[in-house]
Structure formats: C-alpha cells, structure tokens
C-alpha cells in the first residue's frame, strides 16, 4: 500500500515537473517571438532615416558640395535625419526600460496648471508653423497640485500635444484643458479637430510601433512609440488614459491625475513623515 502511495506521489511530482517545464518553454517561446518582432520593428524604423542621411551625404560627395546653397540645404536635411534617429533611439531606450519595469518614478509635488502653461508656451510656435491655434482652458484656481513624476508627465503632455499638431488640420485648433473631477482627481485633456482615427484602429493605438498610416512616405516623422510610452507612464502612476476620436472630425486624449495638497499646506510632520 505504502509503495502504491509513494508511486502515486512520485507520478504527481513528475507530472507537475513536466507541466512546469512546458510552461517555461512556452514563456521562452513567447519571449523569443517578442524579441524577434521588436528587433524587426527597430531595424525597420531606423532604416528610413538612415537611408535618407546616406542619400544626402552621397549626393554631396557626388558633386552637390560645389554649390553653396545646395550644400547647405542637403546638410540641413541630413541633420534633420540624424535628429530623427536620435528621437527614435531615445524612444526605444525609454520603451525598453518601461517594458522591463525599470523606470523609477521620481515623485514630487508640482503645479499641473503651471506645467500646462509651460507646454503651451513651448509648443505654441510649433503649432503656429502649421497654422494651428493652441488654446488652453484651466479651472479658476491658479494652482492645482499633483504628486507625480514631473518630467514624465511633461513628456506625456508634450507627446499628446505634438501628436495633435502632427495629425491636426492646417488652420485647426488644439485645446489643452484641465478639469477638476470628483474624488480628488483632475483630468487633463488634449483635444484637436484634426484628421481623427477610424474606429477599427482605436484599440491598437497604444501598441508599440503601431501607426495608423503605415506608408513610409508619410510626411510626419515618428516611430509609433509615443502613445505606448504615454500609456506606460500613466499606468505606472496608477492612473488612466482615454481616447475618443471620430474619423475626419478630431480626437481627444485625456489622462487622470490624483490631486495633492499645496506644499504650503503640508505640515512639517507630513513632510518629514513623523
């Protein structure tokens, strides 16, 4: 009887071991597919700007260098290509860290109203170049304090506003707004009346490398990483990101933030944690 019980235990253990190994292999296979897909996407994204830069350099070496105006124009274009490569590499670095859970948030109290105003000042010119009017609508209070990673939230805001300009219509508008929600939350919205997104594409927008218009010929540069970075950052703060869009009418991207107390109202004991 004892032998039968021991055999049954042993069989169960062997079966469990085999099951665990099978799961391990499955996980490794998934990771390998992911790695291959990621590498494929990376080289695809780097190829276009690299070939552009190479093209300008070869044309310059081929004789275009002699003409002063052509030389300047081609060097500027090659410079733009390098700039684009730098953006892509930075985004890749960021997404790798985020997906590995390697991004440590540096939380601090800051005024989100001031951040929106700064984003507005920085991007107003960029919008104007495309004849897009940037506006903002903020609550009556001068300051709304939140406790978050300032630099990362700034990146979120900037990515959303830059997208609204990139995919906005000439002569259109982008509005950045902050609204107080119940339960100590605020919602920041970036609303445009640009090209909008077809319903079928909306669920995939936050996937890395996903771009609605895949043709390499599109005018607007980008890696398709911006929105997945945005989503990771917001979720790392345990907050939510939303998108609403109507094709041909416009889009609205919004995210929530938890309000904190104004630093002047935080008592010394709260600051020191005593």
Which of 144, 152, 164, 193 forms a contact with ligand ADP (CB under 6 A)? Answer: 164
CB closer to ligand ADP, 149 vs 192:
192
Q: What is the C-alpha to C-alpha distance for residues 4 and 262, in angstroms, rounded to an integer?
A: 70
Give just the sign of the alpha carbon dihedral 63, 65, 68, 70. positive
CB closer to ligand ADP, 145 vs 255:
255
> Given the rule CB under 6 A, which of 16-24, 116-124, 162-170, 261-269 is the region that contacts ligand ADP?
162-170
CB closer to ligand ADP, 45 vs 239:
45
Which of 223, 239, 241, 260 forms a contact with ligand ADP (CB under 6 A)? Answer: 223
205 binds ligand ADP (CB under 6 A): yes
> Given the rule CB under 6 A, which of 3-11, 12-20, 29-37, 208-216 is the region that contacts ligand ADP?
208-216
Q: What is the C-alpha to C-alpha distance for residues 174 and 177, in angstroms, rounded to an integer?
A: 10
CB 194 within 8 A of CB 266: no
Which residue's entry shows tokens 């939140």? 146
The secondary structure of residue 259, as a DSSP letter, is B
Crossing angle between the packed helical segments 226-236 and 150-166, to the nearest 10 degrees: 150
Which of 123, 167, 232, 239 forms a contact with ligand ADP (CB under 6 A)? Answer: 167
CB closer to ligand ADP, 251 vs 256:
251
197 binds ligand ADP (CB under 6 A): yes
For every residue of 22-46, DSSP letters joined together read HHHHHHHHHHHHHHHHHHHHHHHHH
> Given the rule CB under 6 A, which of 30-38, 113-121, 139-147, 163-171 is the region that contacts ligand ADP?
163-171
> Given the rule CB under 6 A, which of 73-81, 150-158, 176-184, 194-202 is the region that contacts ligand ADP?
194-202
108 has which bridge partners? Answer: 148
Give just the sign of the alpha carbon dihedral 34, 37, 39, 45. negative
> Given the rule CB under 6 A, which of 5-13, 144-152, 179-187, 225-233 is the region that contacts ligand ADP?
225-233
Which of 212, 236, 244, 247 forms a contact with ligand ADP (CB under 6 A)? Answer: 212
Half-sphere exposure of 114 (CA within 13 A, CB side): 8
213 binds ligand ADP (CB under 6 A): yes
For the beta carbon of residue 48, count every other beta carbon within 10 angstroms. 16
192 binds ligand ADP (CB under 6 A): yes
CB 255 within 8 A of CB 247: no
163 binds ligand ADP (CB under 6 A): yes
- DSSP-derived 3-state class of residue 78: helix
Binding-site ranges for ligand ADP (CB under 6 A): 163-164, 167, 192, 194-197, 205, 210-213, 222-227, 251
């Amino acid at each position: 009887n004892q032998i039968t019980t021991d055999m049954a235990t042993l069989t169960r253990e062997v079966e469990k071991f085999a099951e665990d190994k099978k799961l391990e292999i499955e996980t490794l296979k998934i990771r390998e597919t992911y790695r291959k897909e990621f590498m494929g996407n990376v080289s695809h994204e780097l190829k276009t700007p690299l070939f552009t830069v190479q093209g300008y350099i070869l044309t310059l070496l081929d004789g275009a260098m002699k003409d002063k105006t052509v030389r300047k124009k081609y060097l500027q274009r090659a410079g733009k290509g390098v700039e684009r490569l730098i953006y892509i590499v930075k985004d890749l670095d960021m997404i790798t860290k985020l997906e590995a859970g390697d991004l440590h948030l540096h939380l601090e109290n800051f005024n989100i109203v001031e951040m929106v105003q700064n984003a507005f000042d920085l991007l107003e010119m960029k919008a104007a170049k495309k004849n897009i009017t940037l506006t903002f609508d903020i609550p009556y209070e001068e300051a709304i304090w939140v406790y978050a990673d300032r630099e990362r939230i700034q990146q979120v805001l900037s990515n959303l506003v830059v997208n609204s300009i990139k995919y906005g219509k000439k002569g259109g508008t982008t509005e950045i707004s902050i609204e107080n929600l119940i339960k100590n939350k605020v919602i920041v919205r970036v609303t445009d009346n640009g090209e909008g997104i077809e319903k079928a594409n909306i669920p995939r927008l936050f996937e890395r490398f996903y771009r609605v218009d895949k043709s390499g010929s599109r005018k607007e540069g980008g890696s398709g990483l911006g929105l997945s970075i945005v989503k990771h950052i917001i979720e790392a703060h345990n907050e939510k990101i939303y998108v609403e869009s109507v094709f041909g009418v416009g889009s609205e991207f919004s995210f929530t933030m938890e309000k904190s107390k104004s630093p002047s109202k935080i008592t010394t004991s709260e600051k020191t944690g005593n």
